[in-house]
Structure 1
Amino acid sequence: MTDTTTAPEQSARTTPALDRLVALLTGTAPGLRVETGRGFTGPYAYDASNYRVPPRAVVFPRGADDVVVVLRACRETGIPVTARGGGTSMAGNAVGPGVVLDFSRHMNRILDIDPIARTARVEAGVVLDALRSATALQGLTFGPDPSSHSRCTLGGMIGNDACGNRSVRHGRTSSHIEALEFVTADGVRAVADHQGLRAADPHDTAAVRRVARLRADVRALIDANLAPIRTELGRVPRHVSGYQLHHLLPEHGFDMARALVGTEGSCAVVTAATVRLVATAQASTLLTLGYDDVVDAAEDVPEILRWNPTAVEGMDEAIVATMRARRGPDSVTGLPEGRAWLYVELDGDDQATVDARAAELLDALNARGRTTGGRVVRSPQERRSLWRVREDGAGLAARLVDGGESWPGWEDAAVAPENLAAYLRDFRKLLASHGLTGVLYGHFGAGCVHVRIDFDLATGPGRAAARRFLGEAATLVVSHGGSLSGEHGDGRARGELLEIMYSHRMIRAFAAFKETFDPEGLLNPGVIVHPAPLDADLALHTPADVVPVDTLFTFPHDEDGFAGAVRRCVGVGRCRSDAGGVMCPSYRATGEESDSTRGRARLLQEMVRGGTVEDGWRSTEVRDALDLCLSCKACSSDCPVGVDMATYKAEFLHHHYKGRLRPRSHYSLGWLPLTSALAGYAARPVNALLRGPVGRLLARLGGVTVKRRIPAFASRHALRQALRRARTGEPAKTLLFVDSFTRAFRPEVAGAASRVLADAGIPCTAEEGLCCGLTWVSTGQLSVARRVMARTVARLDNGDDRPVVVAEPSCAAALKRDVPELLGTDAARRVAARVHTLTGALTELAEPGWTPPELPQNVVLQTHCHEYATFKGHHPRDLLGRLGVRKVDEAEGCCGLAGNFGFEAGHYDTSMAVADLALKPRLDAVDAQGPAVVVADGFSCATQIDHLAGDRGVRALHLAELLDPAADQPGGTS
């Protein structure tokens, strides 16, 4: 049992009921983790919806027995319970005011896979992608595939009856459920399957009696409401709103498993499920179609469905424009001309046949005259890129190119596919009549439209206007024979509107169904039955809620400054993915919500509004949550809404320690540019001193881990010598910025970079003695950083417009982004516009036809996180491929050292855990597979590689050293 709440928090926030609950759980479930501290409960007040409901405690069950204990204790104390998986609900059905059960932390085991029966038994917290990876070897997969597949859990999918991009073929989650294992509100374990209900333990007579009574009560309820159930439920493919009681009709065999799917945790707590699997297609292809608008696209859907596609997905131009603005123009390729698009996926047993069918479909649609273009996308890489645009739709639509914000609330309506065009036409008129704009995307082939709307949820009049619109939208979709929800569930967003969709008799039947399972109303209260008002508990703070703050960063892309910046997080949870991209290394290492980008952003939102976090910049909860952030900046690129936690952390640390003593590492590592410059005057004796006992003592005094070797300092003479050897005498077309790390630790890189630039036809002059200020930024010493940056900008902004090439990617990123955002001057922006990494310079500026010396066939690459995040479109992997390297094995992810982070004494273990995710396996494979060249431009990355594999003779080369025309090309690892 863990309780991280401090004593003052306990006295301020706990109640007798909560104290009693914690005592009950301590006594009945030793070792069960229960968190009541603000730093842990704060992030769980949110999901991906518009709502904020702070819980009183978060519990991390280890198995079904723990769930039984929690539910019995909550019933005894009268505290409600909300089950939660990945926390990606867009309707507010994963937040609650009592205990939140986080199933994703421990109950995430795949219990059995039966490839013969094509079934799998999984715990509720299993992430969908984990199941799909485990079944892929048998040629099987789970059919429903929401866009959040990399972090949503099977329990959450069951709660919402989720569908996904390929629901045209595979339908809803309820169609793939064989059995559910659940716990009732009074702590009885039971099983629901296609035959009905039974007790999980047939020898537990009390449980058998309880389940028999429950079964009889449900049958009686269905028998009393046969007519409305038959006429009001199951009318369209995506009819998800309310409870799916039609599965309990006599003609459907009293299918209790399917009936409990979509109940959003309001009737029972699902702990495990047996799911049906489907065979993966042998061949597939993607057809992209362009249209003038989404209504034209919807008009073609019925024709497309005649071709038996697996997916028909739609989106409008706003999402594509945002993706290109955020991740570079090359982030979206393969789309024809248009302002709206459809993705149509076809599959089959033979690739040639599938491609031919796609071409025939394209001809047929072109003949109908609505398309503005179309193409069959045959490249797997291009397909993956296009699907990522669609999958990131919810996040991309939240914060658009113009800075506008949009919100869910009416993001999940569904109609019959043949009615989609007519519904969209009327829906756009409704938007216009309210002066609202909506960003449209969704599962057009299933008639399900997702839309984020620019509601004003921060003011009373704006909330009232949103409420009026939602009522009219509900009336509209019902008039088209549709459902308020098509896969996200009703939650807090649409529960109040169910009376527009259903008769009073059906509403009473829903209430009776819940009461049968949960007579005391403890399970996810306020959802579906007896719903809370849809405009209650809104997360978006009003201007009066915001604690005024003055910041040093200018946050130029956020209208409300720091408050607007942290509000970027809307909870889609892509930072909780275990693979793909680089974000978020600390979450991948620890698995803790509080260590995810989302968890930190949500806690910062609490700080800004002065809610559960009351101490503002002095908050120890926020400090602790930010502690394991590596400041890798990957979230600024990978997060669909562009959350930049590294910047937020720097700003927070600046205020948190203002006027106070800082951690020792902030002085020893934050001031490294100055101390390393001084060390360069006496490098040999300093290095000798640091290698002995004095060095270990100094490390401890400076808050630096003694588990790493301190890199050797280079003498000032070494840099002059390296640059002298690099001089060519040609007129300089570029400026080589010699950063502090290159100057102090690897001056040979400066010489190599100078020779490579000359060889590429863009000779340089070296500019030394300047600093980007990065180490002061990463430790939150922003006042010092600004002074350092101002000196650098003054020297570089002197009328010289030559490109500035920076060999160290982290320093290049600081000059490109941190300098203009911290100084906020035109001069800083002019300098930033000139900055290139070496990769970028060779990609953009090298003379046509330039070819480097002969390169190795195989390279292991570690791309610096800051380069990955800040310099999109100029990737070292792509450059190496163009220059002739046959195989680039990239360690996609952070190296774990991350500047000062991995040198700090308290972070060593996390640093190594992050390295284990991607980098270390690649280095281990170097030994197993034979010689390979390891390339890492970042000094931190190279230092981590030396720490991991230096004793085996593995040394990381900078790209400049690899391409250096004056160097002998290495044939091995050293």
Structure 2
Amino acid sequence: MTDSLERALRGRIAGEVDAAPRRLAEYSSDASNYRVPPTAVVFPRTDADVAATLAFARAEGLPLTARGGGTSVAGNAIGSGLVLDFSRHMNAILEVDPTRHVARVQPGVVLAGLQRRAGAHGLRFGPDPSTQNRCTLGGMIGNNACGPHAVAWGRTADTVRELRMLDGTGAERRLADSLSVVPGLAEFTRANLALIRTELGRFDRQASGYSLEHLVPERGSSIAKALVGTEGTCGLLLEATVELVPVPTATVLVILGYPDMPTAADDIAAVMAGGPIAVEGMDARLVDVVRAHRGAVPELPRGGGWLFVEFGGDSPGQVLESAQALCCTAGALDSRIVTNTSEAQALWRIRADGAGLSGRTPDGNPAWPGWEDAAVPPEHLGAYLRDFQSLMREHNLDGLLYGHIGDGCIHVRLDLPIADAPQRFRSFLEDAADQVVRYGGSLSGEHGDGRARSELLSRMYSPEALAAFADFKALFDPEEVLNPGVLVRPQPVDTDLRVAGLRPIPAADGFAFPADGDIGTAVHRCVGVGKCRADSSAAGGFMCPSYLATADEKDSTRGRARVLQEVVRGALDWRSDAVAESLDLCLSCKACHSDCPAGVDMATYKAEALHRRYRGRLRPLDHYVLGRLPQWLAAATRLPRAANAIAGLGPLRRIGLRASGSDPRRPIPTLADRSFRRGWSQRSTPTTADPGVLLWIDTFTDAFDPEIATAAVELIESLGHRVRIPDRRVCCGLTWISTGQLDGARKRLRATVEALADHVRAGGVVVGLEPSCTAALRDDLPRLLPEDDRSTRVAGAVRTLAEFLTEQPDWQPPDRSGWTVLVQPHCHQHAVMGFAADRRILEKTGATVTEIAGCCGLAGNFGMQRGHYDISVAVAENGLLPALRAAGPDTVFLADGFSCRTQADQLAGYTGRHLAQFLLGP
């Protein structure tokens, strides 16, 4: 878009218009296989903005595509013209009427938000896809989304009462159950009655094409319902009125085990006869992947495939009776009834996690959407699945099966040869389409056709039906402004594939990417499922703190990955402003390393990008100051009082912080009067053959909080172990890594390996106290020194203090009954080591423990850097600060991370304690 056109559009609307290269990269894809960079992205604030943008698009001959959460896996939320993102501003819940059981919403409302609001009245929105904590109602209406509870409460189309929208001509229409409000629609319906009755609406999950069956009299003549699932090709939604359903008073979950998924599908009639409210299928291989990624999962009955069957009712006795009856009548190998709510939620999480983790095959190959939600009438599902598995073998493909077995919809992502063999990709899709049609099924059961399947509609529908689809669209969008190339006159399925033709990216002496091969493949782990955009109150994890603070796609893990994907394809340079802007607010918290279902590790990608950007060039001053902080602190600890005195001079401190690229609003932490290493040097250590425990003395503990190391020594020695520390000052390289100084990081890690290798070879363990440093040794070390076999052995010997203590068979934590504890898990620990060992110890103490979810916001050097202070505080407001404000005066604040303790002290005046101190004494 030219500058003049951008200015012209910006002058017409109250919202934002963005045509910057970074923004176009962020919106070039959704959760599909396709890449179509837009001309500009528009963030409308009002209905008038939407109307003005549509008028502008028509005048300039630009296509217009509506977008919600961008979680579409079919490529129906991307376009080459203007992309309208409704999620940023048009996200209000306008009304919840508990008497009429309806809600009025704007298109950008996230489903989880509506569920919370409706839940206060004992109501809920029926459809609940696995992306419900980030998908929008507008997107759900566009795709006719469903979810596990569709067997009881229907698809999105079944909930819609009224839509207010702009058609492609700019006319505003309020649409419900009268065809007369759209000129020519009644005549169109009469002319196509026979075709509609024979080809459309044959079973519930026939989602492909337009759902014209809702137009016929016997189905209510509902134009509103017919427009659900039109994928933004017929109108721009402004407001929707949807039905709500009562939340069941009681629920119970039954797990049925079968030899395999097809056998489970064979039993679906018996299962459905019991009247469940949800029936989901899970393949054993997918459960294995979830178990490998998440750790232990709740107990499952015997089998190679399971049905998760939920019953809802007015009383626990009623639902338990239904569950017991099903166990008696179903043809399962084994069964289990789960009445505990938290355990049932953990089991349902297997299903939710599987939706993202299925992005890799069990062999670790990338698995792609494209044929991920085909559906057949449930009575044919078992036979279809057997034939589909044969088809996969015939095409040498693999994937993990799961889905909505109750209504015949199967989800699978396959290791399709998109990157190197697009003809094989096309051949499989054509064969798969023909196969599902033979079973009377639908190419799509809920995700829509988009760019992924619209071309294949000719294999499912007659020429007359396709012509009817085109005529229907023409009633609303005669100029084909809205999402052209989708459903009507589609693009070929192998056009604009995101990873087709990509070349390997040469290494640059940075990180090794053993699971991916190179940085190019690594950044394409992001397939766009958007968990990093999850509603903050429904996220339940640590990802992505900057997005939760700004609600801007550029600050999501997905947005950053999209920019880096443009870099590795050659469309952007590593040194471009777009890359710098994209990565600027990444806290390198590493939460995506564990929380992202696709395994995206943006902290590593950011470090690699900074390494490539500044290699052989002058760096920002803060890289030299904050990135090499251990060097400066080593010098400062020789004269700590002088250093503290200088830092305490306000004007001098502010001048120094500004000059160093740091924010002058930040106090400088106070150095201890004597570092731990200096005190340790005066201690005599007995010499024995036992390698003992090597306590890793990190820079921050040594310089600022030596009493933590002293407590850890006393605790470990009380268990009969000899404690030693590295003979010389060594470093994990963390601050060099976070600023992309990977050459410097490797230099320090080589010295670390030299210092620890003999100890590890002798069978000793290394106990870390600072989570970020411990994580660097566990995770970054072997990927920065892949050529040194010792690095892997050293990494494997590293423990957190909690891990070490839980490995001691006779150790029991002290009794802290009556204590109230507020604990902030460190992001790097959450991502790399996990918090399970700490959690077990704290539970055994008997204390009342509350965990803070989310990042503290300081994140090492991030919160110190100029321009980051406000975001750092905003991130803290998502978890840390509200928790501290709500804490009672006797609450003990536990935080092993130096950054977490510093943030709590500077922003809330709270002094944190380390686990070692908590366990050692009051």
Output the TM-score relative to the length of structure 1.
Answer: 0.91
- Displacement of 1:323: 2.0
Aligned to 1:467: 426
Contact 2:22/2:578 (8 A) holds in 1: yes
Note closer, same or farther for the CA distance 1:959–1:729 as it changes in structure 2 (3 Å cut). farther
Note closer, same or farther for the CA distance 1:688–1:186 as it changes in structure 2 (3 Å cut). same
For structure 2, list consecutive stretches of 5 or more residues without a partner in the other structure.
Answer: none
What SS is found at the alignment partner of 2:231?
coil
Aligned to 1:857: 819
Aligned to 1:695: 653
- Displacement of 1:439: 1.6
For residues 679 and 706 of structure 1, the distance between their equivalents in structure 2, rounded to whole angstroms, comes to 20
Aligned to 2:146: 163
Q: Which amino acid aligns with 2:453?
A: R
Aligned to 1:259: 226
Contact 1:722/1:748 (8 A) holds in 2: no
Question: What are the equivalent positions in structure 2 for 1:141-156 lying under 5 Å apart?
Answer: 141-156=124-139
Question: Among 64, 86, 89, which residue is 1:106 paired with?
Answer: 89
Question: What are the equivalent positions in structure 2 for 1:484-563 lying under 5 Å apart?
Answer: 484-544=443-503, 548-559=506-517, 561-563=518-520
Note closer, same or farther for the CA distance 1:82–1:771 as it changes in structure 2 (3 Å cut). same
Aligned to 2:625: 668
CA deviation string 1:353-407 (max 9, x = no partner): 3234323322333xx3x42x33222333322222222112232011245321111
Name the stretch that deviates more: 304-313 or 717-726: 717-726
State the identity as a percent. Answer: 50
Q: Does 1:599 align with 2:599?
A: no
Aligned to 1:359: 324
What SS is found at the alignment partner of 2:53?
helix
For residues 226 and 641 of structure 2, the distance between their equivalents in structure 1, rounded to whole angstroms, comes to 75
Q: Which amino acid aligns with 1:813?
A: A
Q: Does 1:93 align with 2:76?
A: yes
CA deviation string 1:268-290 (max 9, x = no partner): 01121011101111111222223
Q: Does 1:177 align with 2:140?
A: no
Note closer, same or farther for the CA distance 1:422–1:724 as it changes in structure 2 (3 Å cut). farther
For residues 55 and 316 of structure 1, the distance between their equivalents in structure 2, rounded to whole angstroms, comes to 38
Note closer, same or farther for the CA distance 1:509–1:817 as it changes in structure 2 (3 Å cut). same
CA deviation string 1:433-486 (max 9, x = no partner): 222223211111110001111111112xx2111212211211111111111111
For residues 945 and 763 of structure 1, the distance between their equivalents in structure 2, rounded to whole angstroms, comes to 34
Question: What are the equivalent positions in structure 2 for 1:892-911 lying under 5 Å apart?
Answer: 892-911=853-872
For residues 451 and 741 of structure 1, the distance between their equivalents in structure 2, rounded to whole angstroms, comes to 47
Aligned to 2:602: 645
Name the stretch that deviates more: 731-740 or 236-245: 731-740
Q: Which amino acid aligns with 2:482?
A: L
Q: Does 1:659 align with 2:616?
A: yes
What SS is found at the alignment partner of 1:906?
coil
Contact 1:719/1:748 (8 A) holds in 2: no
CA deviation string 1:123-142 (max 9, x = no partner): 00000001001111111110
Name the stretch that deviates more: 529-538 or 730-739: 730-739
What SS is found at the alignment partner of 2:638?
helix
CA deviation string 1:768-808 (max 9, x = no partner): 62211100000100000000000001110113321111010
Aligned to 1:27: 11
Aligned to 1:684: 641
Contact 1:166/1:311 (8 A) holds in 2: yes
What SS is found at the alignment partner of 1:274?
strand
Name the stretch that deviates more: 849-858 or 731-740: 849-858
Aligned to 1:869: 831
For residues 771 and 817 of structure 2, the distance between their equivalents in structure 1, rounded to whole angstroms, comes to 22
For residues 727 and 872 of structure 1, the distance between their equivalents in structure 2, rounded to whole angstroms, comes to 32
Contact 1:541/1:609 (8 A) holds in 2: no
Contact 1:286/1:344 (8 A) holds in 2: yes
Aligned to 2:779: 817
- Between the two proteins, the alignment pairs up a number of residues equal to 913
Aligned to 2:390: 429
What SS is found at the alignment partner of 2:402?
strand
Q: Does 1:709 align with 2:667?
A: yes
Aligned to 2:196: 229
Contact 1:86/1:152 (8 A) holds in 2: yes
What SS is found at the alignment partner of 2:725?
strand
Aligned to 2:402: 441
Note closer, same or farther for the CA distance 1:273–1:717 as it changes in structure 2 (3 Å cut). closer
Question: Among 750, 763, 766, which residue is 1:804 paired with?
Answer: 766
For residues 636 and 399 of structure 2, the distance between their equivalents in structure 1, rounded to whole angstroms, comes to 59
For residues 677 and 66 of structure 1, the distance between their equivalents in structure 2, rounded to whole angstroms, comes to 57
For residues 712 and 317 of structure 2, the distance between their equivalents in structure 1, rounded to whole angstroms, comes to 48
Q: Does 1:125 align with 2:108?
A: yes
Q: Which amino acid aligns with 1:826?
A: D
Q: Does 1:792 align with 2:769?
A: no
Name the stretch that deviates more: 803-812 or 929-938: 929-938
Note closer, same or farther for the CA distance 1:266–1:759 as it changes in structure 2 (3 Å cut). same
Contact 1:551/1:651 (8 A) holds in 2: no
Question: What are the equivalent positions in structure 2 for 1:953-968 lying under 5 Å apart?
Answer: 954-964=910-920, 967=921
Name the stretch that deviates more: 333-342 or 55-64: 333-342
For residues 892 and 680 of structure 2, the distance between their equivalents in structure 1, rounded to whole angstroms, comes to 23
For residues 357 and 10 of structure 2, the distance between their equivalents in structure 1, rounded to whole angstroms, comes to 43
Question: Among 564, 589, 605, which residue is 1:632 paired with?
Answer: 589
Note closer, same or farther for the CA distance 1:282–1:853 as it changes in structure 2 (3 Å cut). closer
For residues 724 and 290 of structure 1, the distance between their equivalents in structure 2, rounded to whole angstroms, comes to 64
Aligned-residue Cα RMSD (Å) equals 1.8
Aligned to 1:6: none
Q: Does 1:736 align with 2:695?
A: yes
- Displacement of 1:551: 4.4
For residues 396 and 108 of structure 1, the distance between their equivalents in structure 2, rounded to whole angstroms, comes to 29
For residues 442 and 360 of structure 1, the distance between their equivalents in structure 2, rounded to whole angstroms, comes to 24
- Displacement of 1:930: 4.0
Contact 1:185/1:267 (8 A) holds in 2: yes
Aligned to 2:714: 755
Aligned to 2:736: 776
Q: Does 1:216 align with 2:183?
A: yes
Q: Does 1:322 align with 2:282?
A: no
For residues 623 and 322 of structure 1, the distance between their equivalents in structure 2, rounded to whole angstroms, comes to 35
Q: Does 1:831 align with 2:794?
A: yes
What SS is found at the alignment partner of 2:750?
helix
Question: Among 623, 630, 635, which residue is 2:580 paired with?
Answer: 623
Name the stretch that deviates more: 726-735 or 144-153: 726-735
- Displacement of 1:633: 0.3
Name the stretch that deviates more: 688-697 or 740-749: 688-697
Note closer, same or farther for the CA distance 1:379–1:771 as it changes in structure 2 (3 Å cut). farther
Note closer, same or farther for the CA distance 1:620–1:23 as it changes in structure 2 (3 Å cut). closer
For residues 656 and 558 of structure 1, the distance between their equivalents in structure 2, rounded to whole angstroms, comes to 21
Note closer, same or farther for the CA distance 1:761–1:155 as it changes in structure 2 (3 Å cut). farther
Q: Which amino acid aligns with 1:896?
A: G
Contact 1:723/1:754 (8 A) holds in 2: no
- Displacement of 1:646: 0.1
For residues 867 and 903 of structure 2, the distance between their equivalents in structure 1, rounded to whole angstroms, comes to 17
- Displacement of 1:177: 0.6
What SS is found at the alignment partner of 2:114?
helix
Aligned to 1:581: 541
For residues 684 and 552 of structure 2, the distance between their equivalents in structure 1, rounded to whole angstroms, comes to 49
For structure 1, list consecutive stretches of 5 or more residues without a partner in the other structure.
Answer: 1-13, 199-214, 970-974
For residues 895 and 403 of structure 2, the distance between their equivalents in structure 1, rounded to whole angstroms, comes to 40
Contact 1:760/1:847 (8 A) holds in 2: no
Note closer, same or farther for the CA distance 1:856–1:783 as it changes in structure 2 (3 Å cut). farther
Contact 1:897/1:903 (8 A) holds in 2: yes
- Displacement of 1:726: 12
Note closer, same or farther for the CA distance 1:473–1:541 as it changes in structure 2 (3 Å cut). closer
For residues 46 and 232 of structure 2, the distance between their equivalents in structure 1, rounded to whole angstroms, comes to 17
- Displacement of 1:715: 4.2
- Displacement of 1:197: 6.2
